[in-house]
A and B are shown apart, each in its own frame.
Chain A
Amino acid sequence: MKKVLVVDDEMMNRDLVCKILRKEGFFVIEAVNGKEALSILKNDRVDLVLMDLMMPVMDGFEAIEAIREESRYDKLPLIAVTALSDGETRQKVLSLGADGCILKPFVLFELVESVKRAIQKR
Chain B
Amino acid sequence: MKLIDTIRSSLHHKVMAAFLIVGIIPYLLIIIYFTYLGRQTILKQKLETYTLQAKRTKSLIQSRLFQLEQEILFLSKLELFDDMISGDIDHRISRVLEQKSGGLEKESITLLALSNEGKVIASSHPRMLEKNISINFKTAQRNGTSISGKNLLFFTRLKASFEDRSLGFLVAIYPLENLKKYIVTSEGMDFVIKNDKNILISSTFAKDGDERTTVIIPLERELKGYDLIYSVTNDRIFSFINRFMFYLTLLLLVGIAIIVILSRRLTKEIVMPIMTLTNTAKNIINTKRYDLFVESSSTDETSDLARAFNKLVETTDETLKELDSQSALHMRRFVDLTDMFNHITRVDDKDELTNISIRKLRHIVPYNLSFIAADERLPRGVICLPIKLRDFGTGIQRVYGYLVVDKKEFDDRLESRFFNSVVSMIALQIERIDLIAKIKSASNAKTSFISNMSHEFRTPLNAIIGFSQYLITYESLSDDQLDTVSKIERSALHLLGMINDILDIAKIESGKIEIDKSTFNLFLLLKECEELIAPMAEEKNLTITGLNEDMPELTVYTDAKLMKQVVINLLSNAVKFTQKGGVDISVKKEARKILITISDTGIGIAGKDIPKVFNEFVQLQNANQVKHKGTGLGLSLSARIIQALGGELLLKSEGAGLGTKAILILRQ
Query: Which residues of A are in contact with B by a Cβ distance under 8 Å?
Result: 10, 12-13, 16-17, 19-20, 23, 54, 83-87, 104-108
Q: State whether the Cβ of B454 lies closer than 8 Å to any Cβ in chain A.
A: yes
User: Taking CB as reference atom, which chain B residue is nearest A87?
Assistant: B514
Looking at the assembled complex, report how far the CB atom of B475 sits from the nearest CB atom of chain A, in whole angstroms: 9
Q: Which 6 A-B pairs have the closest CB atoms?
A: A105-B462, A83-B458, A108-B469, A12-B463, A104-B462, A16-B466
**Hey, which chain A residues are within 8 Å of B451, CB to CB?**
86
Looking at the assembled complex, report how far the CB atom of B108 sits from the nearest CB atom of chain A, in whole angstroms: 175
Q: State whether the Cβ of B134 lies closer than 8 Å to any Cβ in chain A.
A: no
**Hey, which chain B residues are within 8 Å of A17, CB to CB?**
466
Partner of A10 from B459, B467, B469, B492 at Cβ < 8 Å:
B459
Contact B466 A85 (CB under 8 A): no
Q: How far does the alpha carbon of A19 sit from the alpha carbon of B503 in the complex, in Å?
A: 30
Given contacts A83-B459, A105-B461, contact A13 B474 (CB under 8 A): no
**Hey, which chain A residues are within 8 Å of B507, CB to CB?**
86
Name 6 interchain pairs, CB-CB below 8 A, sorted by A. Answer: A13-B459, A13-B463, A16-B463, A16-B466, A83-B455, A86-B507
Q: How far does the alpha carbon of A86 sit from the alpha carbon of B496 in the complex, in Å?
A: 15
Interface 1/0 per residue, B497-516 and A, CB below 8 Å: 00010010001000000100
**Hey, which chain B residues are within 8 Å of A16, CB to CB?**
462-463, 466-467, 470
Looking at the assembled complex, report how far the CB atom of B58 sits from the nearest CB atom of chain A, in whole angstroms: 161
Q: State whether the Cβ of B286 lies closer than 8 Å to any Cβ in chain A.
A: no
* Known A16-B467, A86-B507; further 17 A-B contacts with Cβ < 8 A: A12-B459, A12-B460, A13-B462, A19-B470, A20-B466, A20-B470, A83-B455, A84-B455, A85-B454, A85-B500, A86-B451, A104-B458, A105-B461, A105-B462, A105-B464, A107-B469, A108-B470
Contact A108 B459 (CB under 8 A): no
Q: State whether the Cβ of B548 lies closer than 8 Å to any Cβ in chain A.
A: no
User: Taking CB as reference atom, which chain A residue is nearest B495?
Assistant: A105
Q: How far does the alpha carbon of A13 sit from the alpha carbon of B124 in the complex, in Å?
A: 204
User: Taking CB as reference atom, which chain B residue is nearest A20?
Assistant: B470
Q: How far does the alpha carbon of A16 sit from the alpha carbon of B492 in the complex, in Å?
A: 16
Q: How far does the alpha carbon of A23 sit from the alpha carbon of B459 in the complex, in Å?
A: 22
User: Taking CB as reference atom, which chain A residue is nearest B507?
Assistant: A86
Among B454, B467, B496, B500, which residue has the most Cβ atoms of chain A within 10 A? B467
Q: State whether the Cβ of B473 lies closer than 8 Å to any Cβ in chain A.
A: yes
User: Taking CB as reference atom, which chain B residue is nearest A12?
Assistant: B463
Q: State whether the Cβ of B61 lies closer than 8 Å to any Cβ in chain A.
A: no
User: Taking CB as reference atom, which chain B residue is nearest A108?
Assistant: B469
Q: State whether the Cβ of B465 lies closer than 8 Å to any Cβ in chain A.
A: yes
Partner of A13 from B466, B503, B514 at Cβ < 8 Å:
B466
Partner of B474 from A23, A85, A86, A106 at Cβ < 8 Å:
A23
Q: How far does the alpha carbon of A86 sit from the alpha carbon of B507 in the complex, in Å?
A: 10
Contact A104 B514 (CB under 8 A): no
Interface residues of B in 464-483 (CB under 8 A from A): 464-467, 469-470, 473-474
**Hey, which chain B residues are within 8 Å of A10, CB to CB?**
459, 463
Contact B470 A105 (CB under 8 A): no
**Hey, which chain A residues are within 8 Å of B500, CB to CB?**
85
**Hey, which chain B residues are within 8 Å of A13, CB to CB?**
459, 462-463, 466
Interface residues of B in 433-469 (CB under 8 A from A): 451, 454-455, 458-467, 469
Among A13, A19, A54, A104, which residue has the most Cβ atoms of chain B within 10 A? A104
Among A105, A107, A108, which residue has the most Cβ atoms of chain B within 10 A? A105
Looking at the assembled complex, report how far the CB atom of B478 sits from the nearest CB atom of chain A, in whole angstroms: 19
Q: How far does the alpha carbon of A104 sit from the alpha carbon of B455 in the complex, in Å?
A: 9
Looking at the assembled complex, report how far the CB atom of B464 sits from the nearest CB atom of chain A, in whole angstroms: 8
**Hey, which chain B residues are within 8 Å of A106, CB to CB?**
462, 466
Q: How far does the alpha carbon of A90 sit from the alpha carbon of B643 in the complex, in Å?
A: 26
Q: How far does the alpha carbon of A12 sit from the alpha carbon of B470 in the complex, in Å?
A: 13
Contact B462 A54 (CB under 8 A): no
Contact B462 A85 (CB under 8 A): no
Looking at the assembled complex, report how far the CB atom of A98 sits from the nearest CB atom of chain B, in whole angstroms: 18
Contact A108 B473 (CB under 8 A): yes
Looking at the assembled complex, report how far the CB atom of A86 sits from the nearest CB atom of chain B, in whole angstroms: 8
Looking at the assembled complex, report how far the CB atom of A9 sits from the nearest CB atom of chain B, in whole angstroms: 10
Q: How far does the alpha carbon of A85 sit from the alpha carbon of B500 in the complex, in Å?
A: 9
Looking at the assembled complex, report how far the CB atom of A60 sits from the nearest CB atom of chain B, in whole angstroms: 13
Partner of B462 from A19, A83, A84 at Cβ < 8 Å:
A83
**Hey, which chain A residues are within 8 Å of B470, CB to CB?**
16, 19-20, 23, 108
Looking at the assembled complex, report how far the CB atom of A97 sits from the nearest CB atom of chain B, in whole angstroms: 23
Q: How far does the alpha carbon of A19 sit from the alpha carbon of B468 in the complex, in Å?
A: 12
Q: How far does the alpha carbon of A54 sit from the alpha carbon of B451 in the complex, in Å?
A: 13
Given contacts A20-B470, A23-B474, contact A104 B459 (CB under 8 A): yes
